[in-house]
Each structure stands twice: as C-alpha cells, then as structure tokens.
Amino acid sequence: MAFANKNLSVIAYANGFTLWHYGAGEKMADISKAGYFNNVKTLMNIGDIIIINADDQTALKKIGQTGPAVEIAKL
C-alpha cells in the first residue's frame, strides 16, 4: 500500500514543532522507507515526532530529513 493522507493527523503543534500520528494496516518496514511521506513533505519539519501505528508494531520516530525525500529515524 501507499501513503494515505487520511491516516495522518496532527496531535499537537507549537513553535514550529509538530507531533504527528499515522496509523495504517501496513508493516513498519514499508512505512519507514525513505520517501513514504513525500506527499506531505512541505508540512513536516526535521525534528518533528511521528507516532506510527503499523500492522506489526507501534513506534515513535522522528523526521530526520525532508528533502529530497522524507526520511524517518529512530528516536
């Protein structure tokens, strides 16, 4: 499956930092691939935190890079 905008939501925003939530019926390995969140890269900033509820696990990740592809990293 691919990124679905309807599965992404903002939990909190302050001073340029956003706490995101993304929930989808996909494996964490697929969601964690570079470029998965490219459709919303203009909304995400380096250092933002994303809670990912994947099909196989839940994890906290951070946005490590936003260009040319969005990359997420472990905290």
Q: Residue 74 has what pLDDT? A: 86
Q: Residue 17 has what pLDDT? A: 97
> How many Cβ atoms sit within 10 Å of the Cβ of residue 37?
22
Q: Tens of pLDDT along 13-59?
A: 999 999 999 999 999 999 999 999 999 999 999 999 999 999 999 99
- The residues near 68 (Cβ < 8 Å, ≥ 6 apart) are none
pTM of the model: 0.92
Q: Are 10 and 22 in contact (CB under 8 A)?
A: no
Q: Residue 41 has what pLDDT? A: 94
Confidence of residue 67 (pLDDT cuts 50, 70, 90): confident
Q: Residue 10 has what pLDDT? A: 98
